[in-house]
Structures are given as C-alpha cells and as structure tokens.
RNA sequence: CCUGGGGUAGCCAAGUGGCCUAAGGCAGGGGUCUGUAAAACCCCCAUUCGCAGGUCCGAAUCCUGCCCCCAGGA
C-alpha cells in the first residue's frame, strides 16, 4: 500500500500514481478542502462528477466538533461524510498558526482555546496522530508548527520543533500499528531560508516517511520567494516519494508547483473565492458581483464543461450572488473546483505528452491576475 | 376648509440652537481572499436637512409664509 510510481516526467514535473486503500491517486492532483467533513456547498456526488479524487479534512475542526471519537463511531470520515475516494487530514498544525492569540506553543505541544466556545485544549504530536487515527483518512500529516515565513528566529525554532515532533508522530503512528491503512507524511518547514529548509529536509527524510510535504508557504511571503524556496527545497526530497505543497493554491501557483516537481496540492481558495463571489477563468479571476456582468449572456467561462457553465449565464449567476442565494455558492464552488481539477488533468496529460513546459508557458501567458 | 402629526441620501432613520463640512442600517459601487475562527472582511456613497425669507456671533434644529404627505373632523 502507498507505493508511489512516477509514470512520466517532463523537466522536473512528474506524473505518478499513489496507491491508497481507497484506490489509486493520479498525480499531480489538487485536493478540494472539506475542513468540517464537507467541501462547503458541494456534494460528494458533484465532486466525483468534476473529477475530484482526493479530499482534505481537518483534525482540529473535527476534534472540536463533532469529536473524532464520534466520527470513529460512524466508521471514520469516509463513511461519515459519504466520500469513498482517497482522503487526507491535516494535523491541526496550521490552526496553531492561524488561531493567533488563542494559542501557546511549547516544546511538548500546543495549548489553545477553542474558537467555538473558548474552552482550553491541548494538542501534542501524539494526540494529533491519535485523532487522525480515529478519523481514518488515507493520508495523515505530522503535527507541525507553521510559522510566519519571514522571521528567521521564529522560523528556526518552529523548524527544529517540527522535526522533533515528526519523530514523535512517527513513533505514535507505529505504536498504533495502522501503517497499512494510513500513510503518515512528514512536513518540511524553514520559511524562506535555504539553510533551514535544508536542515529540515535532512531531519525529515532521515525518518523515511512515505511522503513529504512542503509546509509554511503561501502564508505571507511573495510569489517569488515561494518559487525560490520550491526551487531550492523540492530537490532535497526523495524523488520516489510523493511531494505535497500544503495550502496552495491559485491556478498560477499550481502550474508553478507542478513545474518544480510537486505532486499534491490542497487549497481553500477555489471554494472560498466562490463563496465570496469570485470565479476563476483561464484569463484570470473575475468578481461575479460586478455590475458589468448584469446583462452578460455568456457562461462564466466559454468552453467550460461544468454544470454551472453549461446551464447558466453570467447575468443569472450575478443575480444569484446579489440576491445571496445558496445556489450562487454551489455553482461558483463547482465551477472553480472544476477549473482547477481540469488544469491538473491537463498538466498530467502534458507531462505524458512531453509538452508540459509549453503547456505551462501558454497557461501562464493567458492567465492574468487582473483580467477583463 | 379645520385640527393634529410629519417632510434629513435611492429607502428606513438618529439628531430638536454651537462637539453636524449630519449617526446608523439597507440598497448601490469597488476591493481583498492560498494546509478555512471566512456564505467573511475592507473601502466608497448628503458641504447638506421640502422651498423662500427672518431671528441669532451661530439654524437640520427657533420664527413667518408657501408647497407636499398622513390621521381625525367638517
């Protein structure tokens, strides 16, 4: 289980297959985020229809509500949420970063207040692995500390801690004895600092995880810094193991990530943008709230095969957005996810065809940050 | 016609002499969003208070006239 075969390469870009208990995962792959055991506004049936293969969910949120023990009672996340494909859970490490003032980190673990009711809780690496064991995703993540990427002192201590915690996660995972059912991935930290990335990669690869994530990016650094960091640290990861860039991303970041040898991505962006009325197109992002679309009879994107684009006009979707109808969130979420999933499929095909570089160049040339 | 109440932004509405170059909400326009504390957040949107005079150092606020609207009575 969890064998990863690189089937084709094109430059640094790779197309592979990762075996999981819920079927093979074709990479490069983008995972829609379903934080609370649901991809917001999208049914599992629809996820299948648009070709989603991997879904991410969250340790912190599900521990808080409804509780990982309750999810276990329902047979784990897959049966609880009705998704029978591969799943990944984040460790809760990112929440340590994003909860801000609500938390306190020490070498042993993290104490934090619930964002729901203010109650005090504590995560340790062991606790995170235990929760993820109860949740039952195919891929689980080491409990890490994800620091703001630019402060060297903070990043250095977080990077050291992440390495120590990775060892503890692995020990706990082995103790629980379910390595055949769940693959535990290690996470590289180090912010934008090459020496720290290098040290982190050395420490983590020494533990021989079945897959490695690059964490701590897309959290405040510039695009150039993110790309430089990937250029530097992806080659430090074993070529025969899947590489996961956490929390990314935007269409251009996915292309840039694949070009640098990343296999797995996840991001809230497409679904969050959808609920905040933005649509992703190949020419860039458009805000469907804007009055310029009020009398637009075209679909969100000409030529897009998704249900939103084959059945509805921009004018109608703008109306739904302005009227705050639930269907606006549903259609835009579906479209945005479809756009990214299609992009991933096309990149995979281009890698097999040996035309990835040209494909990437053309995509990036057409994709404008400020379109129309 | 009489009596009372009322006319502040597209709508609702606070303010009843100086801190009003007028609160707030809605609507409208624009922006932000990357391992989801997000169907969230941010910005813009009345030099002007029904109209015309007057009092006063000072008026959306007081006075006079006019014009509208509402309720009740003829």
Distances (CA, A) of A242 to A28, A48, A191: 9, 23, 20
Residues 147-186/A with CB within 7 Å of nucleic chain B are none
Q: Which of A5, A69, A90, A263 is catalytic?
A: A90
Structure confidence at residue A75 (pLDDT): 97
Q: Is the peptide bond before A249 cis (omega within 30 degrees of 0)?
A: yes
Structure confidence at residue A29 (pLDDT): 98
Mean pLDDT of A226-245: 98
Structure confidence at residue A369 (pLDDT): 67
Chain B positions under 7 Å from a protein CB? 27-41
- Can A107 be counted among the known catalytic residues? no
* pTM of the full structure: 0.95
Structure confidence at residue A101 (pLDDT): 75
Mean pLDDT of A270-289: 98
A296 pLDDT more than 50:
yes
Q: In this predicted complex, what is the ipTM?
A: 0.93
Q: Which of A151, A253, A266, A296 is catalytic?
A: A266
A256 Cβ within 7 A of any nucleic strand B atom? no
- Can A90 be counted among the known catalytic residues? yes
Mean pLDDT of chain A: 96
CA of A107 to C1' of B63 (A): 78
CA of A326 to C1' of B65 (A): 56
User: Percent of chain A at pLDDT above 90?
Assistant: 95
DSSP designation for A220: S
Q: To 5 degrees, how large is the angle CA A137–CA A140–CA A141?
A: 155
Structure confidence at residue A279 (pLDDT): 98
Structure confidence at residue A96 (pLDDT): 79
CA A255 – CA A108 distance, rounded (Å): 38
Helices (H) and strands (E) in chain A, counts: 15, 16
A68 Cβ within 7 A of any nucleic strand B atom? no
Per-residue pLDDT reduced to its tens digit, A313-355? 999 999 999 999 999 999 999 999 999 999 999 999 999 999 9
Structure confidence at residue A100 (pLDDT): 77
Structure confidence at residue A372 (pLDDT): 35
Tell me how far apart the terminal alpha carbons of chain A are, to the nearest angstrom. 47
Lowest mean pLDDT among A103-112, A208-217, A272-281: A103-112
Residues 290-349/A with CB within 7 Å of nucleic chain B are 290-292, 294, 322, 324, 326, 329
Structure confidence at residue A371 (pLDDT): 39
User: Percent of chain A at pLDDT above 70?
Assistant: 99
Show the DSSP H helices in chain A as ranges: 44-49, 59-64, 68-73, 77-81, 93-98, 125-135, 152-176, 194-205, 223-233, 251-259, 269-275, 307-311, 314-322, 326-353, 356-366
Burial class (CB in 10 A: 0-12, 13-18, 19+), A297: exposed
A275 Cβ within 7 A of any nucleic strand B atom? yes
A90 Cβ within 7 A of any nucleic strand B atom? yes
């Amino acid at each position: 289980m969890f064998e990863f075969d690189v089937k084709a390469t094109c430059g640094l870009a790779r197309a592979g297959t990762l075996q999981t208990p819920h079927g093979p995962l074709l990479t490069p792959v983008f995972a829609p985020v379903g934080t609370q055991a649901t991809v917001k506004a999208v049914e599992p049936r629809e996820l299948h229809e648009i070709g989603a293969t991997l879904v991410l969910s969250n340790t912190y949120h599900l521990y808080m509500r409804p509780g990982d023990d309750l999810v276990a009672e329902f047979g784990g996340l897959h049966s609880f949420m009705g998704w029978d494909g591969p799943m990944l859970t984040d460790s809760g490490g990112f929440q340590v970063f994003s909860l801000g003032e609500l938390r306190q980190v020490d070498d042993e673990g993290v104490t934090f207040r619930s964002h729901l009711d203010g109650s005090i809780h504590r995560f340790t690496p062991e606790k995170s692995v235990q929760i993820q064991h109860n949740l039952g995703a195919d891929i689980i993540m080491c409990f890490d500390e994800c620091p703001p990427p630019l402060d060297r002192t903070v990043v250095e201590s977080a990077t050291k801690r992440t390495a120590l915690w990775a060892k503890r996660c692995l020990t706990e995972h082995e103790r629980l004895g379910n390595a055949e059912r769940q693959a535990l991935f290690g996470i590289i930290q180090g912010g934008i600092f090459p020496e720290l990335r290098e040290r982190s990669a050395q420490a983590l690869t020494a533990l021989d995880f079945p897959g490695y994530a690059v964490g701590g990016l897309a959290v405040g650094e510039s695009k150039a810094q993110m790309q430089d960091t990937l250029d530097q640290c992806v080659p430090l990861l074993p070529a025969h193991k899947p590489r996961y860039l956490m929390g990314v991303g935007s269409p251009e970041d996915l292309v840039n990530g694949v070009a640098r040898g990343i296999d797995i991505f996840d991001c809230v962006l497409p679904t969050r943008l959808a609920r905040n009325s933005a649509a992703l197109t190949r020419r860039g992002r458009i805000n469907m709230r804007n009055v310029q679309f009020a009398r637009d009879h075209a679909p969100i994107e000409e030529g897009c095969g998704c249900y939103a684009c084959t059945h509805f006009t921009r004018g109608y979707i703008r109306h739904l957005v302005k009227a705050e109808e639930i269907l606006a969130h549903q259609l835009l979420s579906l479209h945005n996810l479809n756009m990214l999933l299609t992009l991933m499929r096309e990149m995979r095909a281009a890698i097999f065809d040996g035309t990835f570089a040209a494909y990437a160049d053309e995509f990036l040339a057409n994709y404008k940050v400020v379109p129309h």
